[in-house]
């Protein structure tokens, strides 16, 4: 009897379980499809972030360059270069400018041409001393003009004023005196020479030039020397022993071109 009941009991139990599972599935309590399609509870998308989540601002940029002084890539001056700079500075303290040129001798608008040759001219200008500031700070100068034909040569000196205009153009005026080796009265050895009257004469000069790169310049030059009719000589009047006092002041002029180098 029991043996016949046991199989029936097993079949009834299996049928009960199947019906229960189907009932739960239809009821929605254990819907496995829904569980499989739901997202993981710990997975967050960018749209589901919490509103209370703090916003983190980016860190400020950091300048990694250290405040070290700039280092020059050029090499320091050598001892020779320092010596040259010091030497140049010393020259500037002593000399302001040197000028040299070639002049047509005894050739100008205010005197008669009686002598020949060319004059080689060399001149040195010095820095203006503070004591001359009350007369617009002229530069003292000395120079020499040597005649190629053996006529009048001279050594001169004075003060030089200069005015710049039109950028690199300049004009200069020199006033001073000169000592010469020319003839004082009449001709010499039958050759026409100037009657300059005195050994020492007044000298004036003008220059008009253009400066190249600040230190170099080229200029036109004209100088005039005379005694301002202050020299009187006792000369023959043409008779055997007759003599008379004569004012001698023929004057001497030179014109030419010169080059200048400014320290």
pLDDT digits (tens, 9 = 90+) for 80-125: 666 666 666 676 789 999 999 999 999 988 888 899 999 999 999 9
Cα torsion angle, 235, 238, 244, 249, sign: negative
Question: Residue 97 corresponds to which tokens in the numbers above?
Answer: 């400018």
Query: Residues of 114-143 as b/e, b for ≥16 C-beta within 10 angstroms?
Result: bbbbbbbbebbbeebeeeeeeeeebbbbeb
CA distances 77 to 58, 85, 90, Å, are 49, 10, 18
Cα torsion angle, 45, 48, 51, 53, sign: negative
CA distances 164 to 110, 148, 170, 209, 255, Å, are 27, 33, 4, 10, 22
Question: Residue 184 corresponds to which tokens in the numbers above?
Answer: 């004082």
Provide the pLDDT for residue 189.
65
CATH architecture of the domain with residue range 83-262: Beta Barrel (2.40)
Higher pLDDT, 237 or 112: 112
What confidence category does residue 47 fall into, taking pLDDT thresholds of 50, 70 and 90?
A: very low
| Alpha helices, DSSP H, located in the chain | 2-27, 32-37, 79-94
**How many contiguous H segments (helices) and E segments (strands) does the chain have?**
3, 10
Residue 61's region, left for phi above 0, alpha for psi from -120 to 50, else beta, is beta
The residues, ordered by sequence, that sit 6+ positions from 31 with a Cβ below 8 Å of its Cβ are 25
Instruction: State the average pLDDT over residues 37-62.
Output: 53
Highest mean pLDDT among 21-25, 213-217, 242-246: 213-217
Question: Is residue 70 predicted with pLDDT exceeding 70?
Answer: no
Highest mean pLDDT among 17-21, 158-162, 242-246: 158-162
Residue carrying the six token digits 């690199």: 168
Binning the chain into helix, strand and coil, the percentages to the nearest 5 are 20, 35, 40
What confidence category does residue 186 fall into, taking pLDDT thresholds of 50, 70 and 90?
A: confident
What confidence category does residue 27 fall into, taking pLDDT thresholds of 50, 70 and 90?
A: very low
The CB-based long-range contact list for 159-164 (8 Å cut-off, 24+ gap) reads 159/132, 160/125, 161/136
What confidence category does residue 44 fall into, taking pLDDT thresholds of 50, 70 and 90?
A: very low
Question: Is residue 37 predicted with pLDDT exceeding 70?
Answer: no
Distance in angstroms (rounded) separating the CA atoms of residues 107 and 181: 18
Question: Residue 220 corresponds to which tokens in the numbers above?
Answer: 């036109």
Instruction: State the average pLDDT over residues 140-147.
Output: 98
Higher pLDDT, 252 or 232: 252
Provide the pLDDT for residue 55.
57
188-214 residue pLDDT tens: 666 777 899 999 999 999 999 999 988
Give the rounded percent of residues in the chain with a pLDDT score beyond 90. Answer: 49
Judge contact between 160 and 174, C-beta under 8 A: yes
What confidence category does residue 33 fall into, taking pLDDT thresholds of 50, 70 and 90?
A: low
Length of the chain, in residues? 263
Question: Is residue 143 predicted with pLDDT exceeding 80?
Answer: yes
User: Domain boundaries in the chain?
Assistant: 83-262
């Amino acid at each position: 009897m029991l043996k016949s009941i046991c199989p029936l009991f097993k079949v009834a139990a299996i049928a009960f379980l199947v019906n229960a599972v189907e009932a739960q599935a239809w009821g929605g309590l254990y819907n496995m499809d829904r569980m499989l399609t739901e997202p993981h509870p710990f997975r967050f998308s960018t749209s589901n972030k919490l509103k209370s989540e703090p916003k983190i601002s980016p860190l400020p940029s950091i300048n990694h360059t250290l405040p070290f002084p700039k280092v020059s890539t050029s090499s320091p001056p050598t001892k020779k270069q320092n010596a040259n700079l010091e030497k140049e500075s010393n020259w500037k303290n002593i000399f302001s400018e040197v000028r040299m040129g070639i002049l047509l001798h005894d050739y100008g608008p205010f005197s008669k041409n009686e002598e020949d040759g060319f004059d080689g001219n060399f001149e040195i200008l010095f820095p203006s001393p503070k004591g001359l500031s009350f007369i617009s700070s002229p530069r003292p100068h000395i120079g020499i003009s040597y005649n190629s034909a053996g006529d009048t040569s001279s050594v001169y000196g004075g003060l030089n004023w200069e005015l710049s205009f039109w950028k690199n153009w300049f004009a200069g005026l020199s006033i001073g005196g000169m000592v010469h080796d020319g003839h004082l009265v009449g001709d010499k050895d039958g050759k026409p020479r100037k009657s300059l009257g005195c050994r020492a004469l007044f000298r004036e000069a003008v220059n008009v030039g253009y400066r190249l790169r600040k230190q170099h310049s080229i200029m036109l030059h004209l100088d005039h020397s005379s005694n301002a009719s202050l020299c009187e000589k006792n000369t023959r009047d043409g008779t055997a022993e007759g003599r008379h006092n004569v004012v001698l002041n023929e004057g001497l002029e030179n014109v030419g071109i010169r080059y200048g180098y400014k320290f």
